[in-house]
Amino acid sequence: MNRKYRTTVIAGNWKMNKTPSEVKGYAEELRSILGSRVKWCDIVICAPFVDLPMAVRSFRDLKVGVGAQNVSQFPSGAYTGEVSVGMLKDAGVKYVIIGHSERRQYFAETDESVNAKVLAALEAGLQPIVCVGESLDQRDRGLTLDFVSCQVKAALCGVAPEKARKVIFAYEPIWAIGTGRTATSEQAEEVCRHIRTIVRGLYGARTARATSVLYGGSMNDQNAFELLAQPDIDGGLIGGASLVPAKFAAIVNAANQE
């Protein structure tokens, strides 16, 4: 982390878990552990679409920002089942995860659709959390840095320089997601630093220095401190451990370090 130049972000990704009626209890539990005075990082909860209005209401006084897990690249119209950036904005949502590997893998998300969604989100004033990361096979073949470079460059295609620093990246190696097998802090740092280098090449040193790059993949209350101590890891995108308020709060507290 480097709090002087960029925001530390601890973001939970609930994936397809929790109903609207479960949101309030979660928020109350989180409040009872953290209080409402967290100053050292931005806290975000990315909830399923139907949970979002309840999440915005329940997390408001906790200063937890609410995010969606996907969004349409189209502004409105005949796109059955889709949700637009305008709808999210109107609902009080501030962030949106774009290009999670589960969406790339199961729902045919491509670098092109990721890019279109990033542009739509930025245009609407939503902060995108763009997920990138390699498969185990790609890592074993030594392709990690090249593959992640391509994903980062594709996501940023056509993004204006003044908007680029709003894009949060999350490095999520696919082999570490939901497997209990976390990347070592050296592995995670190497790729997060590389992402910053790519951003520097595209937008210059000031934008790169201000860009938050998160790590995701089996991050938990045991390994968060060491991961967050790395200079280029500016936070976490947390799946499983974000479902339990005490575990998520412990990760938030692990971000309270110099």
Binding site for ligand 13P (CB under 6 A): 13, 100, 172, 177-178, 216-219, 237-241
Q: How far is the CB of 45 from ligand 13P (least distance, A)?
A: 12
- Residue with structure tokens 């982390």? 1
Report the residue number, 59 or 175, with the smaller CB distance to ligand 13P.
175
Report the residue number, 84 or 218, with the smaller CB distance to ligand 13P.
218
Report the residue number, 203 or 215, with the smaller CB distance to ligand 13P.
215
Token readout for 24 is 């309030």
How many CB atoms sit inside 10 A of residue 214's CB? 29
Catalytic residues: 100, 172
Return the amino acid letter for 213: V
Residue 36 exposed, middle or buried by CB count within 10 Å (0-12, 13-18, 19+): exposed
Q: How far is the CB of 162 from ligand 13P (least distance, A)?
A: 28
Token readout for 128 is 């995108």
Report d(CA 102, CA 36) in Å as an integer: 32
Return the amino acid letter for 72: S
3-state helix vs strand vs coil in the chain, percent to 5:
50, 15, 40
Choose among 205, 231, 233: nearest CA to 219: 233
Strands 64-68 and 95-98: parallel
Q: How far is the CB of 250 from ligand 13P (least distance, A)?
A: 14
Helix (H, G, I), strand (E, B) or coil at 212: coil
Q: What are phi and psi of 190, to 5 degrees?
A: -60, -45
* Secondary structure tally for the chain: helices H, strands E: 12, 8
Are the C-beta atoms of residues 234 and 167 closer than 8 Å to each other?
no
Q: What are phi and psi of 23, to 5 degrees?
A: -70, -45
Residue nearest to ligand 13P (CB): 239
Q: How far is the CB of 78 from ligand 13P (least distance, A)?
A: 30
Q: How far is the CB of 251 from ligand 13P (least distance, A)?
A: 10
Report the residue number, 128 or 217, with the smaller CB distance to ligand 13P.
217
Q: How far is the CB of 61 from ligand 13P (least distance, A)?
A: 26
